[in-house]
Amino acid sequence: MSVQPAAVRLSGLRYRWPRAREDCLAVDALTIAAGERVFLRGPSGSGKTTLLSLVGGVVLAQAGTMEVAGRSLGALSAGARDRFRADHVGFVFQLFNLLPWLSGRDNILLACRFSPQRRARVAAAGSTPAAEAARLAARLDLPADLLDRPAAQLSVGQQQRVAAARALIGRPGLVVADEPTSALDADRQQAFIDLLLEECAAAGAALLFVSHDQRLAVHFDRVLDLAALNRAGGAGEGAR
């Protein structure tokens, strides 16, 4: 079996938001192994979401290197970065970012529509995007009739599970979740994290899970504290 590249490998990374007076992030080195489950904590404003934007290639660092699945994001054009992200990184955003007028099912399928590689991986597993969306929805306790409703008509907890299915479909090598449980009560937080961990394990995906809630850390292979990792002074006093 070939050795898999690290899910994330960054080195000498420095990032400053446009018009900010100080760097937001300065991280010497960070590696997340393939399949590793990492809990990233840090107070509000410490740069957690910014780091995820860099991991996703949404923004590019001014210095240093950022590799995802062995690919250096700085070497890719903006369009190639968008395609790479669609193929290899599943995002669960803080506010889910579902398209409200699309059904839950179509929100999940969108991830495949934008990614030839996700479609290919679904096909290689002997399935179809529609069947895989249904499997993940069932796995996440989303009844089929709910999936036909526009996302705007789903409860917060249901939207969150749709967002998780969208991130997971087509088995990206890395799933990134930005405080996805902040709107849930403790029982549902637990259930959601269990599902995310199980589905990532089944897919062999690494999971980078961001939260300021330290109690959730016990479920992960490793805990990273961004305040300790980040040498920049500008986090928490940026442009907004």
Ligand X SMILES: Nc1ncnc2c1ncn2[C@@H]1O[C@H](COP(=O)(O)OP(=O)(O)O)[C@@H](O)[C@H]1O
CB of residue 215 to ligand X, shortest distance in Å: 18
Sheet with strand 222-225: strands edge to edge: 89-92, 174-178, 206-210, 37-41, 222-225
44 makes contact with ligand X (CB under 6 A): yes
| Nearer to ligand X (CB atom), residue 115 or residue 211 | 211
17 makes contact with ligand X (CB under 6 A): yes
Are 5 and 173 spatial neighbours (Cβ–Cβ below 8 Å)? Answer: no
d(CA 138, CA 110): 18
Residue carrying the six token digits 């949404």: 58
Output Rg (C-alpha) for the chain, integer angstroms: 17
- Kindly determine how many residues on this chain lie close enough to bind Mg ion according to the rule CB under 5 A: 2
- 80 C-beta neighbours (distance < 10 Å), count: 13
Binding segment toward ligand X, per CB under 6 A, in 37-45, 110-118, 144-152, 154-162: 37-45
Contact with ligand X (CB under 6 A) among 49, 65, 117, 190? 49
239 binds, among Mg ion, ligand X, none (CB under 5 to 8 A by kind): ligand X
Site string for Mg ion, 32-61 (x = CB under 5 A): ----------------xx------------
Is 81 in a helix, a strand, or coil?
helix
230 makes contact with ligand X (CB under 6 A): no
Token code pair at residue 231:
């040498």
42 makes contact with ligand X (CB under 6 A): yes
48 makes contact with ligand X (CB under 6 A): yes
Terminus-to-terminus CA distance in the chain, angstroms? 48
Helices 104-113 and 156-168, packing angle to 10 deg: 20
| Nearer to Mg ion (CB atom), residue 20 or residue 102 | 20
CB of residue 211 to ligand X, shortest distance in Å: 10
d(CA 106, CA 99): 9
CB of residue 218 to Mg ion, shortest distance in Å: 21
Query: Nearest to Mg ion by Cβ — which residue?
Result: 49
**Contact footprint for Mg ion (CB under 5 A):** 48-49
Name the site residues for ligand X (rule: CB under 6 A).
17, 20, 24, 42, 44-50, 235-240
